[in-house]
Amino acid sequence: MSDLAITGLLVLSLFLILGSGVWIGLTLSGVAWIGMELFSTRPAGDAMAVTIWGSSSSWTLTALPLFIWMGEILFRTRLSSDMFKGLAPWMHALPGRLLHTNVVGSTIFAAVSGSSAATCATIGKMTLPELARRGYPEHLVVGSLAGASTLGLLIPPSIIMIVYGVTAEVSIARLFIAGVLPGLMLAFLFSSYIIGWSLLNPGAIPRDDARPSLLEKLVASRHLIPVVLLIIAVLGSIYSGLATATEAAAVGVVGSLALSALQGSLNWQSFRDSLMGATRLYCMIALILAGAAFLTLSMGYIGLPRHLAEWIGSLGLSPGQLILVLAIFYIILGCFLDGISMVVLTMGVLLPTIQAAGIDLIWFGIFLVLVVEMAQITPPVGFNLFVLQGMTGRQLPWIAKVTLPMFLMMVVGVALIYAFPQIVTWLPKQMM
């Protein structure tokens, strides 16, 4: 049977099982089992047990549930309202004024969250009602929040970077630091769009005659101290070499519990809710990772990754053409799968091709996170769109439409890191 026929059969099986409502993790395991049973000589049951246990017992993966739990704890604190109080006075001088709280707030919260959906929900909780009350244009409020909240994936600590690091076997600490400059670059692009739109539509932004003095701004900034201290504790411990990503995640959990207790929002109910929320989310991710590991093994036995790499190699694509093809591929894939599923489902097949093309795996990890960010705001499976739909009551097509300018800013971001790869690689090289 030809590789094309085998691939077609497995892809058809994948979409049929997914379409029937089976969980993604179980679907991946099912497709892997079909592939091994039909096209390899190794017993599928034995391979599945060994692979799933191996993928689930990875020490590096321990950082994942801890960072998820940290984000869940912070989601239940007064952090969002305090951040608004600290940020708002500094935004008055910029065209677009308080619209920038979406971008700056998302950038700050991303540094302690690791999840774009959590960033979207937390920052939206503070900005959506406040900006609506002050008369800011709804389409720009929702659009800027949808785009900026995807920074939860790019600015460390990032859940999806941990998944990529484990899958591609690259340093998670170097991935984290590689995401800092691209994350700030993307935040700058989002704010630049807001400034440009506001200058072109000056009457659409509500007037605000308040002009806080420097002293008032500094006094308001005290509300940012807790989250800044937490960022320093988590990221500083990694970059200083005092802690691994897993140990830093534990520091983050302890710090977020302390912050929650100091704010008076830590009680048995909030502790239980955060722990159960983190457990549910991690179990879903772990099941996907286990299924993807088994599928990768199955593909290896069948030989599809090697044949795919040989086929792509025979096309004679330059690294730039390969990156363009992969960007389009992931954006389309993101219309149907969530980001983590996209990474674990494709990396086993594409990794040999990426390495053969001489593409730096740290750079590719950041590129991958950027295109996965785009997938977070593309219908019909854009997670951030669902979060915003629940918070605003608006229909999905309207939310997707107002988010389009931010999607285009991300396209610009991908083009910039390709044209200037040092944006990604400079900081990691300083760690070597």
Per-residue pLDDT at 38? 82
87 within 8 A of 104, measured Cβ to Cβ: yes
pLDDT at 2: 63
Q: How far apart are CA 127 and CA 142, in angstroms?
A: 10
Distance CA 99, CA 22 (A): 40
Cα 365 from Cα 363, distance rounded (Å):
5
SS (H, E, C) the chain: CCHHHHHHHHHHHHHHHHHCCCCHHHHHHHHHHHHHHHHCCCCHHHHHHHHHHHHHCCCHHHHHHHHHHHHHHHHCCCHHHHHHHHHHHHHCCCCCHHHHHHHHHHHHHHHHHCCHHHHHHHHHHHHHHHHHHCCCCHHHHHHHHHHHCCHHHHCCCCHHHHHHHHHHCCCHHHHHHHCHHHHHHHHHHHHHHHHHHHHHCHHHCCCCCCCCCHHHHHHHHHHHHHHHHHHHHHHHHHHCCCCCHHHHHHHHHHHHHHHHHHCCCCCHHHHHHHHHHHHHHHHHHHHHHHHHHHHHHHHHHHCHHHHHHHHHHHCCCCHHHHHHHHHHHHHHHCCCCCHHHHHHHHHHHHHHHHHHCCCCHHHHHHHHHHHHHHHCCCCCCCHHHHHHHHHHCCCHHHHHHHHHHHHHHHHHHHHHHHHCCHHHHHHHHHHC
200, two tokens? 């072109």
Domain segments of the chain: what residues? Answer: 42-431
Q: List the pLDDT tens digit at each of the 432 positions of the chain.
A: 566 677 677 777 877 887 787 877 788 888 888 888 887 777 878 788 888 787 777 776 777 788 878 878 877 777 767 777 888 788 877 888 889 989 998 888 888 777 777 788 778 877 888 888 888 999 999 999 999 988 888 888 888 898 899 888 898 889 999 999 999 999 999 999 999 999 998 888 887 656 777 788 888 888 888 888 888 888 888 778 788 778 888 888 898 899 888 888 888 998 999 899 888 878 877 787 788 778 777 877 777 656 665 666 677 778 888 899 888 888 877 776 667 777 877 787 788 888 888 899 999 999 999 998 888 788 766 777 877 887 788 888 899 899 999 999 999 999 999 999 999 999 988 865
Alpha carbon 230 to chain centroid, angstroms: 20
pLDDT at position 272 is 92
pLDDT at 127: 84
Residue 305's pLDDT is: 58
C-alpha dihedral (414, 418, 424, 430), degrees to nearest 10: -170
Other Cβ atoms closer than 10 A to 147: 33
